[in-house]
Amino acid sequence: MMDGPRITLLSSLDAKLRSFLEADPRGNERAAMVLFQRHHFVVPDLAVSDRYVAVDVIPMEEPWVTGSSPTHVSFNLGPLREILRRCEEDGLALGFAHNHPTGYEAFSEIDSANERALLEALSNRNGGHVNLVALLLANGTWKGRVRSSSAPNFPVPARHIAIIGSRIQLGSFAQQDTTGFRSRQAAAFGQPFVEALASLRVGVIGASGTGSPVITLLARAGVGEILIIDNDCLDETNLNRVRGARKSDVGEYKADVLARFVDALGLPVKTASMQSLIDVSPDAVDALSTCDVVFGCTDDQLGRQLLNSALYAFAFPLIDLGLGGHVTEKDEDAVLRSHFGRISVIFPEFGECLFCQGVLREVWIRHQEALRENPALTEEQARERYLEGGGEGAPGVGPFTSATADFGVATLFDLLKPFRRFPAAVRKDQFFIDFVNMEINSRGQKGDFDCPYCGAHEFTNLNSSHRLGRPSLGRRTVHV
């Protein structure tokens, strides 16, 4: 079941599809073509599960549609040619969506025949190995499956369908075993919530102070797959806060230490570890594109900058965590003046990006680029910059990194099943836990409509021949 394809619809396209399909004045069936980006990179140790992200919807109207009733819709294949050409040129996968106004919630025999005819047209025109995504809307919920030219009579049901708006709505998931260790959580949030978690692939970037508790909490919460990316090795100074790390692990990659720790828990979760810097590794970028949700748990500005474009290009919500604060010295003793944990949530279509939230700054990015070229600068610069820049001497306190991680994972729960009541002064897309003054607060919004990320949306569904439009990351492999 974990090998089933995952289908993602941004809320704007979900709304466009629904409003067209359900608007026939006679109450007849309607149909639309949906174009998808197919993220098919196979992450070693994880399930083979393609992730299809819808990028365009093309309503099928007369004369394309030749007849319809409450129980059928028929169409000719002529106008399809132009769409098939676009699929080939842009490396997009074809999808077919229709509704059942009668409320019949399963694909019918006629649906199967229609899908086979579309797949055949696609295969004849574009050749090679092709896939067709089928979506069915009945009683307000989606069902989905994917049919492949290598086995046209055996459609594979979707592992889930995700609608990404200012929350994550998951549906149509395959049944999972949600008894045993998951039952106490079901007691708080219900059975569908637990099944939704089990259908998720979550990426965690950074496996240190905040990343390690995020990873262990996700595993115990019953998330189905966890991808851990971190290029650092465990240092003895990490042992005060890295969950699951033992002294005997010092010198090993943190990503491997965490994956091994989670595997040893014996829970039904698949883990994969990559020892990469996400902003320079094409494989890490491709692996990110297969995630349903990503946690940013790194102090690395260049890595965060990559996540800030990837969340738009690959349509996943990003939960970014960070710590900051200020320490002074008095009588040769350290005095903690301020210390806070930050939780940011950025959706492809909602909220401010990390630049607009003030988490990323051009000057810090340039600074880090300089450090990469000349590592000898590190110590001095880190002392100057304190926590936001990370570095060797920066404070890292277990209870604070851990509390930030706890709030981060609870934020994922809130996205799947909203339970929080935010005070008026606290932003849903960004809040700080002030560990010194004991309060939760937010900064003001920037509201930059020209921002290329969250304002002008230049990266949303980016279809560039290079990964994320960066020639340094190499060409995107396109297989329809």
Residues forming the site for Zn ion (CB under 5 A): 108, 111, 353, 355-356, 451, 453-454
Q: Please give the span between the terminal C-alpha atoms of the chain, in angstroms, as a whole number.
A: 22
State the minimum distance, in angstroms, from the CB of residue 53 to Zn ion.
Answer: 21
- Walk across the sheet containing 151-157 and list its strands: 151-157, 141-148, 131-138, 93-99, 31-39, 51-59, 6-10, 160-164, 168-171
Q: How far is the CB of 67 from Zn ion (least distance, A)?
A: 14
Smallest distance from Zn ion to CB 384, Å: 27
Complex with Zn ion: residue 256 or 352, whichever CB lies closer: 352
Closer residue to Zn ion, CB minimum distance, 271 or 460: 460
DSSP for 446-463 reads ---TT-TTTTS-TTTT--
Give the SS3 label for residue 195.
helix
Give dist(CA 401, CA 216) in Å, integer.
Answer: 13
Cis peptide before 471 (omega within 30 of 0): no
Dihedral angle sign, alpha carbons of residues 411, 362, 276, 280: positive
Residue number, nearest CB to Zn ion: 451
- Which is nearer to Zn ion, 256 or 429 (by Cβ)? 429
Please name the amino acid found at residue 178: T
Half-sphere exposure of 396 (CA within 13 A, CB side): 23
Decide whether 23 or 42 has the Cβ nearer to Zn ion.
23
Q: How far is the CB of 96 from Zn ion (least distance, A)?
A: 10
Least spacing, CB of residue 142 vs Zn ion, in Å: 13
Main-chain phi, psi angles of 95, to 5 degrees: -135, 155
Instruction: Give the nearest distance from C-beta 346 to Zn ion in angstroms.
Output: 9
Q: For Zn ion, which is the closer residue by CB, 111 or 256?
A: 111
**Distance (Å) of CA 477 to CA 40, 462, 471:** 10, 14, 13
- For Zn ion, the closer of residues 435 and 453 by Cβ is 453
Nearer to Zn ion by C-beta: 23 or 456?
Answer: 456
| CA pseudo-torsion sign 100, 102, 103, 107 | negative
Q: Minimum distance between the CB of residue 98 and Zn ion, rounded to whole angstroms? A: 5
Q: Within a 10 A sphere around the Cβ of 372, how many other Cβ atoms?
A: 14
- Provide the minimum distance between the beta carbon of 21 and Zn ion in the complex, in angstroms, as a whole number: 11
Determine the residue type at 144: G
C-beta of 304 vs 417, nearer to Zn ion: 304
